[in-house]
């Protein structure tokens, strides 16, 4: 699954950067989102939009104590929270200052196992993958700034801002 995520990232982000190099206006953004999890549900991410294409990626960056290392002993235990992430792609439908962006993507979670002794370490185990289908409502405040609200199946809710690079 990690190779599929890398392929999506390379296949979608690099064409957007090429469009920016050719003078197509590009919009970059940051957002905070809420995942469908019991604990550690809040995360952060970024988005890139070029022409009518949208790409975003988010994670909650959850981790245990110490370094990430596969080590297990009798005191290894499962933590109460999970690491989550999502990669989405969408198509921008423009209406004056508003944009509606239907999106589809892949979400994933990992259980976090903690080993406290001899040195604290943690490792990620039991990957589960989810389909994320959602929508983004985007509003352009002026020529440079915009705000967005998003909702989805796995990535439940998100809010963020955008900054426009290049001439519109």
Per residue in 121-136, pLDDT (tens digit) is 888 889 899 999 999 9
Phi, psi dihedrals of residue 4, rounded to the nearest 5°: -65, -40
What mean pLDDT value characterizes the chain? 84
As a whole number of angstroms, the distance between CA 111 and CA 106 comes to 17
pLDDT of residue 7: 64
As a whole number of angstroms, the distance between CA 88 and CA 93 comes to 16
Which helix (H) or strand (E) covers residue 113, if one does?
strand 98-115
Phi, psi dihedrals of residue 141, rounded to the nearest 5°: -75, -45
The 10s digit of each residue's pLDDT in 6-54 is: 666 666 666 656 665 666 677 888 999 888 787 778 999 999 888 788 8
pTM confidence score: 0.79
pLDDT of residue 134: 94
């Amino acid at each position: 699954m990690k190779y599929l995520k890398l392929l999506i990232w390379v296949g979608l982000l690099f064409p957007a950067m090429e469009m920016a190099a050719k003078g197509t206006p590009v919009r970059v953004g940051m957002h905070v989102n809420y995942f469908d999890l019991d604990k550690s549900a809040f995360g952060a991410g970024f988005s890139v939009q070029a022409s009518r294409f949208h790409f975003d990626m988010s994670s909650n960056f959850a981790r245990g104590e110490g370094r990430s290392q596969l080590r297990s002993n009798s005191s290894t235990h499962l933590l109460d929270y999970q690491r989550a992430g999502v990669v989405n792609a969408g198509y921008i439908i423009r209406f004056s200052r508003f944009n509606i962006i239907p999106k589809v993507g892949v979400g994933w979670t990992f259980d976090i196992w903690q080993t406290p002794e001899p040195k604290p370490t943690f490792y990620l185990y039991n990957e589960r993958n989810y389909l994320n289908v959602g929508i983004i409502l985007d509003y352009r405040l002026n020529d440079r700034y915009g705000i967005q609200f998003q909702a989805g199946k796995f990535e439940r809710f998100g809010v963020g801002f955008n900054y426009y690079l290049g001439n519109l």
